[in-house]
Amino acid sequence: MAAVAATVERPGPQPARDLLLVNNIEVVYDHVILVLKGVSLAVPEGGVVALLGANGAGKTTTIAMLLGLLAPTAGRITVLGEDMQAHRYRVLRRINFSSPYVDLPLRLTVRQNLRVYADLYGIAAPQARIRELASDLDLLPLLDRPTGKLSAGQKTRVMLAKALINRPELLLLDEPTASLDPDTADVMRSYLEDYRRGERATLLLASHNMAEVERLCSDVLMLKTGRLVDRGAPAALLARYGRANLEQVFLDIARTHAPEQPLAGVAD
C-alpha cells in the first residue's frame, strides 16, 4: 500500500489584533452637554493612528477616557484586552501619555520628576533608564535644572521622556512636538518611529501638525463636534477629498456642517 505523504499546513501571517477598542461611547456633562456622540474606533497593535479635529471636537476627552481618567456616560473602552471601567489598574503600567499642556511639578528638577514617575511605574533600574532617555532626547544638560526654568520646547521633550519611562505598549501623544524647532521636531519624530518599531508599540496621536500626521500615521480619525466623521489612511483621504495635503482635508471637514449621524462601521 502506497504511503500517503502528510501535508503540513503552515499558518500564514496573522492579522494584527486590535489593541484598543472604543465601542459607541458617549460623554454627557451636567446631563445637558453632549461632548462625544456614539464614537467607535479600533486601533490595531503596532499601528500609529491620528486623532484629528478642531478645538472642542473631543480629542482631549477621548484621550482622558483611554487613560481611565474619565468614565464614558455610555459605551465601552477596551485597552490591551481589559475593560477600562472595570479593570484599568491591570493595564495602567503598560500605557503612558505625553502632553505639553500638563505641567510637572515646577520646583522639582527634571531628574527628580523623572525619578518620581520611574518609581510609580516600578522601573527596575531607574537611574539608568533616566540617563538613557536623557541621552536620547538631548536632556542631559537639563537633568538638574528645575522644570519651571525650562523653555516650552524643553518641557515638551521632558514630557516625552516621562511618557517613555516605562516603555509603554500603548503611547498616547497630544501634540508631541509642540513648541519644538523644525530640526528638533524632526529628530523627535524619527525617535518615535524607531521606538514604535523597536518596541512594537501602538501610538495614538492628537496633533494639529498635518505634515507630522502624514509622516507618522498609517490611519487618520477625523472628529467633529464629538462625532467621528471620517477615517482612512492619509493617501486615501487625500484621494477622497481631491486635495494635495491633509491640511486641506482638515479645512474641508472643519468648514462643513456637522453630520446628523456618526460614521458607521468603524468598530462593532
- CATH number at 229 reads 3.40.50.300
φ and ψ at residue 191, rounded to 5 degrees? -65, -40
Q: Give CA–CA dist 197/114, Å, rounded.
A: 24
Q: Which amino acid is at 103?
A: D
At residue 251, the pLDDT reads 94
Q: Which structural domain, as residue segments, surrounds residue 36?
A: 29-104+169-254
pLDDT digits (tens, 9 = 90+) for 27-64: 887 765 567 888 888 999 999 999 999 988 888 888 98
| Domain presence at residue 66 | yes
Q: How many domains does the chain have?
A: 1
| Domain presence at residue 157 | no
Cβ atoms 60, 227 nearer than 8 A: no
At residue 69, the pLDDT reads 87
Q: Residue 249: which of 224, 225, 216, 218 has the closest Cα?
A: 224
Average confidence (pLDDT) over 232-244:
95
C-alpha grid cell, residue 191: 525617535
C-alpha grid cell, residue 61: 476627552
Contacts 24+ apart (CB under 8 A), 179-185: 179/100, 179/151, 179/152, 179/153, 179/155, 180/153, 180/156, 181/153, 184/138, 184/153, 184/157, 185/212
Q: Give CA–CA dist 255/30, Å, rounded.
A: 28
| Domain presence at residue 158 | no
Is the CA virtual torsion 4, 5, 6, 9 positive or negative?
A: negative
At residue 13, the pLDDT reads 47
| Domain presence at residue 111 | no
| Domain presence at residue 52 | yes
At residue 263, the pLDDT reads 55
Cβ atoms 27, 34 nearer than 8 A: yes
Q: Is the pLDDT of residue 268 over 50?
A: no
Q: Give CA–CA dist 164/184, Å, rounded.
A: 17
* Residue indicated by cell numbers 491640511: 247
| Domain presence at residue 150 | no
Tell me the C-alpha to C-alpha distance, in Å, between residue 60 and each of 139, 142, 159, 206, 213: 27, 29, 16, 8, 17
- Indicate the pTM of the whole model: 0.86
| Domain presence at residue 130 | no
| Domain presence at residue 210 | yes
Q: Residue 169: which of 66, 55, 246 has the closest Cα?
A: 66
Q: Is the pLDDT of residue 1 over 60?
A: no
Q: Residue 133: which of 79, 174, 96 has the closest Cα?
A: 96
C-alpha grid cell, residue 185: 521636531
